[in-house]
Amino acid sequence: MAAPPVDIHDTQGIVVNGWADMAHAAYLFVRLPGDPAAATVWLRDIAGQVTPLDRDVRPPDHRVQLAVTDEGLKKLGAPEWMIEGLPEELTLGMPARGQVGRAAVAVRRAR
């Protein structure tokens, strides 16, 4: 069975493109409000700015990508089964992933 076609209008471009044509990158970390309705409003506002895979509609001078942590998904009201199905690399968070050796093993075991 063949995989379904990718909707290039509804897929972030970063999924298949490393944006080698961009000379610089900036990262903005945002803490979503605890209220799912307010968090959803913010997400809807920014969603239209996310750069799609479709090359014909990409702005020439910048790209916008969006990633959401497990905590962010919870604030957006995602169901628990969805959170539980996320890979450990996402749910451990960046501090745990940055550790090496015994410290990283201890963090994984503590969870």
Instruction: Tell me which DSSP letter residue 24 carries.
Output: -
Can you give the pTM of this predicted structure? 0.64
Task: Say how far apart CA 73 and CA 91 lie, in whole Å.
Answer: 11
Domain boundaries of the chain, sorted by first residue: 13-78
On the question of pLDDT at 1 being above 80, the answer is no
Residue type, 73: L
Give the mean pLDDT of 36-43: 88
Residue 95: strand, helix, or coil:
helix
Tokens standing for residue 29: 């970390």
Under the banding of pLDDT at 50, 70 and 90, the label for residue 2 is confident
On the question of pLDDT at 44 being above 80, the answer is yes
The count of other CB atoms within 10 Å of the CB of residue 88 is 10
Task: Say how far apart CA 79 and CA 73 lie, in whole Å.
Answer: 9
Q: What pLDDT is attached to residue 79?
A: 92
Instruction: Tell me which DSSP letter residue 15 carries.
Output: G
Instruction: Tell me which DSSP letter residue 12 carries.
Output: B
